[in-house]
Amino acid sequence: MNQNVAFKTDAALTSGGSVRKIIPTDALPSGILVITVFDAGWNAIAERVTFVNNHDYLFATSMDVAHWGLNKRARNEIEITVPDSLSANLSVAVTDAGIERDTSDNIISHLLLTADIKGYVHNPAYYFSSDADSVIQNLDLVMMTHVGVVLSGKM
C-alpha cells in the first residue's frame, strides 16, 4: 500500500492444506491494497487487489456565513470549522446552483480509486456513495477485474 509493505507473515502449507491469516486493516489508510502470496523463493504465486475503506477521508465540518454580500461582486465571508483534533487544507469552489452536477466522479473517487488503476472505471463515485453490502461487493468486483493493472503494483 503506497509502495510499502503493509503486512507480512509466514505460512507453512502442507499438501492439500490451507492457511488462514487475518490482515489488520484498522490502522491502514483508505485505498487500494495489493495482496501478493510468495513461495519460499520469493516468486509471486498469487495476487489479489482489494480496497481498504476506513473512511479516514471524511470528517464533519460546519459552515457559517459571517457576511452576506448580495450585490454584484459583493464581498462574502464564510467560516468553516473542523474538529479540534484535525488539521486540514481546504478549498472552496463557488458555482452556479443552476448548473447540473456530474455525480459520476468526485475528488474522493479520483484520489483513492481511479488515479491508481489503469483503465476505465464506470461511475467511480458510486463506490463511495454508501456502505450498503451491494456497493461494497461491487467495489470488490472492480478490484478483481483490475488485478495486475494497478499502477503501483508489480506482477
Phi, psi dihedrals of residue 127, rounded to the nearest 5°:
-70, -10
Quote the CA–CA distance of 47 and 50 in Å, as a whole number.
10
pLDDT in tens, the chain (155 residues): 777 888 888 888 777 778 888 889 998 989 998 888 888 888 888 888 889 999 888 888 899 999 998 898 899 899 998 888 777 788 887 778 888 877 888 888 998 998 888 888 899 999 999 999 999 999 999 998 876 545 444 44
Q: At residue 54, what is the residue type?
A: N
Quote the CA–CA distance of 24 and 8 in Å, as a whole number.
11
Q: What is the pLDDT of residue 147?
A: 62
Phi, psi dihedrals of residue 75, rounded to the nearest 5°:
-80, 130
Angstrom CA distances, 14 to 18, 35, 37, 54, 58, stand at: 8, 21, 15, 35, 44
Q: What is the pLDDT of residue 155?
A: 41
Would you state the torsion angle of the CA atoms of residues 123, 124, 127, 128, taken in this order, to the nearest 10 degrees? -120
**DSSP characters over 39-89:** -TTS-EEEEEEEEE---TT----EEEEEE---STT---EEEEE--TT----
Would you state the torsion angle of the CA atoms of residues 130, 123, 101, 133, taken in this order, to the nearest 10 degrees? -10
